[in-house]
Amino acid sequence: MPNPKRRHSPQRGAKRRTHYKAEAETWSVDTTTGESHLRHRGHWVEGKLYYRGKVVVDKSPAVEGEKNQ
C-alpha cells in the first residue's frame, strides 16, 4: 500500500475534519404518555418502559388485589 513520501501539514488534516460537526439530539413526544424522549430509544414512565407508544416492560409495584390467590 502506498505511503506518503513527505509529512502532511496539520492544515491538511484540519481541512478534512471541518465537516465533523456536533448535531443536536432529536426529541419526540410520545402519543401515549405525552412525555418527551430521544428518538429510537425506550423511556421509563411510572415504572413502565415504553417504546413506540407500547409498554415493553412493566416494573410498577403490584397492587394488593392483583396478587395470585
pLDDT at 62: 80
Q: Which three cell numbers stand for residue 12?
A: 491538511
How far is residue 10's CA from residue 14's CA, in Å, rounded to a whole number? 6
- What pLDDT, in 10s, does the model give residues 8-61? 899 988 888 888 788 899 999 999 999 999 999 999 999 999 999 999 999 988
- Residue 68's pLDDT is 62
